């Protein structure tokens, strides 16, 4: 006898189910997501809850659930909302490398405007199925295909892994600085004696911290320089692959 088919559980993603229509015309999914992004930017992922969001919108939690079934779905929608801010140059740009660097820089800038973004990209279910992220990926694929890469998924994954990894670290650092109530330069100056002491028994690290103390470097410019260095290394590798 043939085995009876088992009932499949629904795919846990807002992008994999029919969109729900609510009976409260003043409350739309777009309104909910925009307010969620504001809340995430101001307070972080831990502070976001459906109940608190409903209170901010002067609505009942049940009204939100008619549009968004779970917090995970809300995070998928929030990720896709801010992804619309990422710029990718046209596929026919004369210099694919400069265009890819511009796209990477735009992604990083978006991630720093929304410090929660990078840390949740790998956790927000099937967020990559959202229309804005799909459009972003399509434009990157067109750019790398036009450059001559036979399979654009490789360079896309490589570029985004670098940008997301760097942005996650950088955003976490900036959140720490913001919580101190100080400027980044002042926070670094106060932290440096402890950093020097910790590095004192490590020859190369101690030398690096000594150089950092003697130099007057703009911390924003230094972060930009670090990002650009790593991005150049990634693009150097992709250029070698393309030549091969």
Query: CA 36: distance to chain centroid?
Result: 16
pTM for this model (two decimals): 0.84
**In a shared domain, residues 73 and 150:** no
Is the separation of the CB atoms in 129 and 16 below 8 Å? yes
Residue pLDDT tens, the chain, 244 long: 555 555 667 676 766 666 655 545 568 999 999 999 999 999 999 899 999 999 999 988 888 888 988 888 899 999 999 999 999 999 999 999 999 999 999 999 999 999 999 888 866 555 578 899 999 999 999 999 999 999 999 999 999 999 999 999 999 999 999 999 999 999 988 988 888 888 888 988 888 777 666 656 788 998 999 999 999 999 999 999 998 8
**In a shared domain, residues 78 and 162:** no
**In a shared domain, residues 152 and 199:** yes
Query: What is the per-residue pLDDT for 182?
Result: 94
**In a shared domain, residues 235 and 127:** yes
Which residue is associated with the tokens 């990422």? 86
* Whole-number Å distance between alpha carbons of 67 and 19: 8
Residue 178 tokens, joined: 């913001």
Query: What is the per-residue pLDDT for 15?
Result: 63
Q: Which of 58, 83, 108 is the last residue of a domain?
A: 83
Q: Please count the structural domains in the chain.
A: 2
What is the maximal distance between C-alpha atoms in the chain? 80
* Whole-number Å distance between alpha carbons of 154 and 138: 13
* The length of the chain, given as a count of residues: 244
Query: What is the per-residue pLDDT for 215?
Result: 57
Q: Which of 214, 221, 106, 202 is nearest to 159 (CA)?
A: 106
**What range does the domain containing 229 cover?**
96-243
């Amino acid at each position: 006898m043939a085995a009876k088919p088992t009932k499949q559980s629904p795919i846990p993603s807002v992008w994999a189910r029919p969109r729900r229509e609510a009976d409260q015309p003043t409350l739309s999914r777009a309104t909910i997501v925009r307010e969620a992004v504001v809340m995430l930017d101001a307070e972080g992922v831990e502070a976001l809850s459906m109940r608190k969001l409903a209170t901010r919108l002067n609505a009942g939690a049940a009204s939100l659930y008619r549009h968004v079934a779970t917090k995970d779905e809300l995070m998928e929608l929030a990720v896709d909302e801010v992804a619309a801010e990422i710029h990718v140059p046209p596929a026919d740009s004369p210099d694919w490398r400069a265009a890819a660097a511009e796209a990477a820089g735009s992604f990083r800038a978006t991630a720093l405007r929304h410090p929660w973004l990078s840390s949740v990209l790998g956790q927000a279910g099937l967020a990559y199925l959202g229309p804005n992220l799909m459009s972003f990926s399509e434009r990157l694929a067109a750019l790398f295909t036009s450059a001559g890469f036979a399979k654009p998924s490789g360079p896309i994954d490589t570029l985004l892994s670098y940008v997301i990894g760097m942005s996650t670290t950088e955003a976490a650092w900036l959140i720490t600085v913001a919580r101190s109530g100080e400027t980044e330069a002042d926070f670094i100056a106060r932290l440096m004696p402890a950093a020097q002491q910790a590095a004192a028994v490590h020859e190369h690290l101690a030398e690096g911290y000594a150089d950092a103390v003697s130099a007057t470097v703009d911390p924003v410019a230094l972060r930009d320089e670090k990002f650009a260095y790593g991005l150049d290394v990634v693009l150097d590798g992709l250029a070698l692959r393309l030549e091969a």
